[in-house]
Amino acid sequence: MTLERGDVVTVSDPFDDNETRPFVIVNTDDHPFHGEQYVALTLTTRTWFDGTLPLTDDDFVEGGVPDDSFVVPWGVASPGGGVIGERFGEIRSSTVDDAVDALTTYLR
């Protein structure tokens, strides 16, 4: 299954081998290994992190997540297909753009 920008999926948790956590795919089709490896930002349910971006039902084009969640723009991962699990849905492109814009503030 090839994922697209905005897809929300579970990925093996990089901090706990026995857990998964949701991520949103943020790379474009121009990514060198699109379909095999992705650039993704983690989602969290923790409300006390400054700088996270809240997700609402309106942010989803399709599906959703079971709990109130926030995009963590500094929580970058590059998962390959072997660690990607369930797909929850798709976030609007404008919401993904906002998350990527927030990420780039940490990189300039």
Domain CATH code at residue 30: 2.30.30.110
pLDDT in tens, 1-38: 789 999 999 998 777 778 889 999 999 888 888 878 89
Average pLDDT value for the chain: 91
* Any domain includes 39: yes
Look at residue 88 in the predicted model and tell me its pLDDT: 92
Q: Which residue range(s) make up the domain with 56?
A: 7-107
- pLDDT reported for residue 14: 74
Q: Is 81 helix (H, G, I), strand (E, B) or coil?
A: helix
Q: Tell me what pLDDT residue 27 has.
A: 92
Top pLDDT among 79 and 100 is at: 100
In a domain, 58, yes or no: yes
Judge whether 2 lies within some domain.
no
Give the model's pLDDT for residue 94: 98
Q: Write out the DSSP string of 30-68.
A: TSTTTTTB--EEEEE--S--TT-EE--GGGEEEE--SS-
Our count of domains for the chain comes to 1
CA distance 14 to 93: 26
3-state secondary structure of 82: helix
91 within a domain of the structure (yes/no):
yes
* pLDDT for residue 35: 78
